[in-house]
């Protein structure tokens, strides 16, 4: 059996019951279950529809996300999440570079790296080099004034933990930011790169080895082994090319507001919903959310 989940942006819920019923009838699905009024619904299916992506394209134009996944074991016991543009709205290195006066240049490199056009490690080294001499106090300034959580992140982490889940934040960004974000959102652990600092200023380099795509996969392997769970017990979420390895390996990989080239390689793509979409995908209703 499979489950089809339809959802919209919680800030502007507009999921039409008639649309859900029409699709359910067309695909021969079972009775629809509403996870949140006007926001999220699901129904069971015997088979994966052949016209899934054609329907997905049509629904995208209406501001509706659609995902189809096996019904068995879709509720996961571990969350593995990227940070920049996933658990937070911003890219931390872009915000630091903006303060340093290299904002446009670094944003361009970041966008190309996240889209898979540039080698992640080389792109990171090049961007960090532009931060040389920046006062370390700018990190706290950026955290306080420029970094905002992605909607739904706190509920995602807290709800999964309330049901025995483990939450790990794994970023190609920096520990100075993951420590703060993990603490704010309640993650159990975090991993990232370390900005090197001497005499209170950034040196323009990061500690080795650099945490990139392969390291995120290693985190998946190591944390699941430590917890004694299978990789299929993990739901992973990210938006960039360096997230593809963990998205492919996890039981459920979610491309959230992802770069087009990244989304194209993922079976579950959320472009309109927020992080609560990951709870709906697991069958949680809004009344089940822990906030």
Q: Using one digit for the tens of pLDDT, what is the confidence trace for 89-127? A: 999 999 999 988 989 989 999 989 888 898 889 999 999
Burial readout 269-283 (b: 16 or more C-beta within 10 A, e: otherwise): bbbbbbbbbbbbbbe
**Are 227 and 195 a contacting pair, CB within 8 Å?**
no
**Structure-token pair, residue 33:** 């279950």
pLDDT the model gives residue 20: 98
Kindly name the residue from 9, 65, 84, 233 that is annotated as catalytic.
Answer: 84
Q: State the maximum Cα–Cα separation within the chain, in Å, rounded to a whole number.
A: 67
Of 44, 53, 51, which is closest to residue 24 (Cα–Cα)? 44
Kindly name the residue from 9, 65, 82, 243 that is annotated as catalytic.
Answer: 82
pLDDT the model gives residue 116: 86
pLDDT the model gives residue 184: 97
Q: Which long-range contacts (CB under 8 A, 24 or more apart) does 138-145 make?
A: 138/96, 138/99, 138/100, 139/96, 139/176, 139/177, 139/195, 141/99, 142/92, 142/95, 142/96, 142/99, 143/176, 143/177, 143/180
pLDDT the model gives residue 118: 86
pLDDT per position as a tens digit, 22-48:
999 999 999 999 999 999 999 999 999
The model's pTM: 0.95
CA gap 44, 30 in Å, rounded: 5
Q: Is 196 helix (H, G, I), strand (E, B) or coil?
A: strand
Positions in the chain whose pLDDT score sits under 50 = none
Indicate if 9 belongs to the active site. Answer: no
**CB neighbour list of residue 271: distance below 8 Å, 6 or more residues apart:** 60, 65, 257, 263
CB atoms within 10 A of CB 102: 18
Indicate if 82 belongs to the active site. Answer: yes
CA gap 69, 109 in Å, rounded: 34
């Amino acid at each position: 059996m499979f489950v089809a989940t339809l959802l919209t942006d919680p800030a502007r819920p507009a999921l039409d019951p008639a649309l859900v019923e029409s699709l359910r009838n067309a695909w021969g699905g079972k009775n629809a279950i509403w996870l949140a009024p006007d926001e999220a619904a699901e129904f069971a299916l015997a088979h994966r529809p052949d016209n899934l992506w054609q329907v997905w394209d049509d629904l995208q134009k209406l501001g509706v996300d659609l995902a189809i996944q096996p019904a068995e074991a879709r509720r996961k016991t571990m969350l593995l999440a990227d940070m920049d543009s996933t658990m937070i709205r911003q890219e931390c290195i872009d915000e630091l570079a903006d303060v340093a006066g290299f904002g446009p240049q670094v944003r361009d490199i970041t966008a190309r790296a996240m889209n898979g056009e540039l080698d992640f490690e080389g792109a990171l080294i090049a961007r960090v080099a532009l931060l040389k001499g920046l006062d370390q106090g700018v990190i706290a300034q950026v955290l306080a004034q420029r970094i905002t959580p992605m909607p739904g992140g706190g509920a995602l982490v807290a709800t999964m933990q309330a049901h025995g889940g483990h939450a790990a934040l794994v970023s190609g960004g920096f520990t100075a930011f993951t420590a703060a974000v993990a603490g704010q959102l309640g993650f159990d652990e975090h991993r990232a790169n370390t900005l090197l600092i001497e005499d209170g200023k950034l040196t323009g380099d990061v500690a080795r080895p650099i945490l990139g795509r392969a390291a995120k996969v290693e985190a998946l392997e190591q944390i699941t082994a430590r917890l004694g769970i299978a990789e299929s017990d993990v739901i992973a979420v990210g938006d960039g090319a360096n997230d593809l390895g963990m998205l492919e390996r996890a039981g459920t990989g979610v491309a959230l507001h992802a770069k087009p080239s990244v989304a194209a390689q993922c079976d579950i793509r959320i472009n309109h919903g927020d992080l609560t979409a990951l709870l709906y995908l697991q069958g949680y209703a809004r009344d089940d959310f822990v906030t």
